[in-house]
Each structure stands twice: as C-alpha cells, then as structure tokens.
Amino acid sequence: MRKTLLIATALVSTFPLLAHADTLKFPSEEPIAEVFIPHSWAPKETETGVDATSPDSAIYFSIDIADDKTMEKTIDGAIDFLTKNGVEIDDKSKHEYPDSELNGMKMAHLEWSGKDKDGPVDVELGLIAPSEHKLLVVTYWGSKDTQDKHNDAVQKIVDSIKPIND
C-alpha cells in the first residue's frame, strides 16, 4: 500500500511537467523559438528543428531552423523530404501570399496543390524570421480530404510559434 501511494504521488507530481511538455523550445541547446504542439501529434525535436503528425496521419508539420548559409539547403531538404515520401507537387498551382507578420516576426508563405499515395494534398511552406540571421522553415503537408478537421489545431500551432529573445 505504501509503495502504491509513493508511485501515485510521484506520478501526480509529474503532471505539471507533462502539461508543459507540448511547448517545445528549439533547438534545445540554444533555443531561438518555441511552439506548442498537442501531445496527440507526437511532437519531437529533429536534427534541424521539430516535427509532428496529426493522430490520423492526415497532416505532417515541421519547423526547421536555418541561417544565412543554410537557408537554401534547408528549403531543399524540406522539398526533398516531401518527394521521398511520395508527394508530387503541381508547380503550376503555386500561390504566393503577401508577406505578413506572426508574433512580431516577418513571414512569407507559399502554397501548392499536389498528390500523394492517398490522393490530393495541400503543401505549404512558411518562412519566418525570428531574428536577423535565423529563419524558421515551416513545412505543411495535408490531405485535402481530411485536413479540414485539423484546421483549428494547425492554426493554434502556427499561432503559437514565437521567438525566444535572449
């Protein structure tokens, strides 16, 4: 009984830690940005940022960090990732939105239609500047058939991207 009580107490004491586990500051060694991603999306830190997938695998979302020297390579890497995962982008469908601002950061936003093994998809690429020499490359790949049910979650994720000022 005493052992059970100790285990229960230990678990309850970790709840505050679990509640904050969704806010990822990245890169973990020297964070420049943070984002809130629901646990159900299985967020994780990657070599170049963070990524997550909706519970039904309809949406893939990633944020990669680049600087002046690695920006082109990072963007190419995002496109290569999509291609390796069977996404065919229709270059003619490219739509470039006017530059905007997100939480005090300049943002550029591109969108394409395409297809993968499951059918039609939307692909989006956002370029967000959290500082003068850093860039966040946001990649979105979503099934046109099922992405609508994730719009609120995706919008909350995007709205939660914030710079971490030193």
Asked if the structure places residue 6 within a domain, the reply is no
Query: What Rg do the C-alpha atoms of the chain give, in angstroms?
Result: 18
Residue 8 lies in a domain: no
Residue 1 lies in a domain: no
Contact 137, 73 (CB under 8 A): no
Contact 23, 36 (CB under 8 A): yes
CATH number, residue 115: 3.40.1000.10
Q: Specify the pairing of strand 134-143 against strand 162-163.
A: unpaired
Instruction: Decide if 85 is inside a domain.
Output: yes
Task: Say if 15 falls within a structural domain.
Answer: no
Report yes or no on 4 lying in a domain: no
Assigned token pair, 112: 């394409």
Instruction: Evaluate whether residue 101 is within a structural domain.
Output: yes
Contact status, residue 42 vs residue 53, Cβ threshold 8 Å: yes
Expressed as residue numbers, the domain containing 84 is 22-163
Count of domains for the chain: 1
d(CA 109, CA 100): 8
Let me know: does 58 contact 41? Beta carbons within 8 Å. Answer: no
Which secondary structure element, helix H or strand E, spans residue 114, and what is its range? strand 105-116
Residue 78 maps to a domain:
yes
The DSSP call for residue 98 is E
Mean pLDDT per 10-residue run, the chain (166 residues)?
A: 35 37 84 95 94 96 95 94 96 96 96 96 97 95 94 96 85
